[in-house]
Amino acid sequence: MEHKLRMSPEQVLAEAVSAVARARGYTDDVEFSPEDASRSDFDFMCDVLQAAVDNGAGTLNIPDTVGYATPVEWAERIRSIRKRVSGDYVLSTHCHNDLGLAVANSLAAIQAGARQVECTVNGIGERAGNAAMEEIVMAIRTRPDTFSDVETSIRTEELARSSRMVSRLTGYPVQFNKAVVGRNAFAHEAGIHQHGVLNERTTYEIMDPSDVGQGESKIVLGKHSGRAAFKDTLSKLGMTIQGDALNAAFTRFKELADRKVQLTDADLEALVAEEMGDRVMATYSLISLEVRSGSTTTPSADLVIRVEGEECAVSATGDGMVDASCTAIKKATGIVGRLTDYNVMSVTGGVDALADVVLSFESSDGVKVSGRGLAADVVEASARAFISALNKIARVRRTGEDPNAVDRPGHLG
């Protein structure tokens, strides 16, 4: 309090009261949240919480801002708040994962009476992240004996797909051994376990993979599929696109299908996600890219790119072909800065899968953006990702909007 807010306890209390009262002027649904509840003075915090309820807060959200709590003490804290603070409110928990305990602490809070859980898909969030939604949901569902008085209305069979989408949009890979949504979460490697599963599934599986959407991919479309089949398949996957977006996605689909025989639903998800991401007005667009490299050749790239309507041909060399391509793109656009992150995922696994590249770029004037690109070839995918990032920079410069609003997920507490 003294380090961060530079206010006395009385000032903090008064501010809390007036903020809640003011919020109630706009809505009946006011949530109040005292930061760092795991290390705060408990008595004072309860006074503030009581004042918030008395002035109209309907939800009290208790955050373990630095991920410091352990399950037993977190449950105890939630239980004590319920006892101490009277009134009609929902208790909420918001846990961070710095010690790897965010999910366990959230579940402990539920057992202690919390009825709102602040959590995120894949557990993304500040530092080591927040509690992973999919793990909490599946713990409640898998252990009805332990969580007998609560349920979620989450459609669990969408968990795996939601996880893939969030991973793709943020550029944060999901580790293979991530609970519930990791790609190995249901893989039995050890022979002794495989034997057990073949005899009786419940020997080693407490969840059914299809319950979380980790079933077999229902394969789908090939190079001979038409626009109607394409649109129909997308809508079965829950993706509705029309008009120009549909045309653009279909064109990219045909290009990719010409190289790959079949596209799985994961491929299609990735494709549509990329097209949707690029619906911002594009200042730059890729016309063609030719690259070559070799043990005895310097990696080089010949690029044709449309810059504000005009085609521009540039060539460059680099440490590798990705570096050469990006250097050529920098030359053509005149944007200076550095790549701060670069990540390739194969959409479906295997070397003939589509490469899904996510990268982060920081321009010399401090604008941070990310870009994604999808292609059968990893270098082309990288160039597409870089161009998509630079389009965001161009948008910031054109519109003068807040650079941090362009490409940053909201702060999660």
Q: Which residues inside 239-258 make contact with its own copies, applying CB under 8 A?
A: none
For its own copies, the binding residues in 177-236 under the rule CB under 8 A are 177-180, 182, 184-193, 195-196, 199-200, 203-207
The answer to whether residue 355 forms part of the interface with its own copies (CB under 8 A) is yes
Stretch that binds its own copies, among 12-20, 55-63, 84-92, 336-344 (CB under 8 A): 336-344
Q: How far is CA 69 from the centre of its chain?
A: 25
Residue 127 or 227 with smaller CB distance to its own copies: 127
Stretch that binds its own copies, among 23-31, 52-60, 95-103, 390-398 (CB under 8 A): 95-103
The conformation of residue 304, written as its DSSP 8-state character, comes to E
Q: Which residues contact 126 (CB under 8 A, 6 or more apart)?
A: 96, 411, 412, 413
Q: Decide if 62 contacts 81 (C-beta within 8 A).
A: yes
Among candidates 341, 333, 294, which has minimal Cα distance to 314?
333
Q: What is the DSSP string of 70-117?
A: -HHHHHHHHHHHHHHS-SS-EEEEEEB-TTS-HHHHHHHHHHTT--EE
Scan for tokens 């007005």, then name that residue. Answer: 281
Q: Which of 4, 153, 243, 334 binds its own copies (CB under 8 A)?
A: 4
Residue 89 or 361 with smaller CB distance to its own copies: 361
Q: Which of 12, 44, 377, 406 binds its own copies (CB under 8 A)?
A: 377
Q: How far is the CB of 232 from its own copies (least distance, A)?
A: 25
Stretch that binds its own copies, among 16-24, 86-94, 167-175, 394-402 (CB under 8 A): 167-175
Q: Measured between alpha carbons, how far is 164 from 378 in angstroms, rounded to an integer? A: 19
Residue 224 or 338 with smaller CB distance to its own copies: 338
Q: Measured between alpha carbons, how far is 124 from 315 in angstroms, rounded to an integer? A: 39
Q: How far is the CB of 255 from its own copies (least distance, A)?
A: 9
Q: Which of 41, 232, 290, 402 binds its own copies (CB under 8 A)?
A: 290
Q: Which of 319, 365, 401, 402 binds its own copies (CB under 8 A)?
A: 319
Q: Measured between alpha carbons, how far is 158 from 212 in angstroms, rounded to an integer? A: 6
For its own copies, the binding residues in 112-131 under the rule CB under 8 A are 122-129
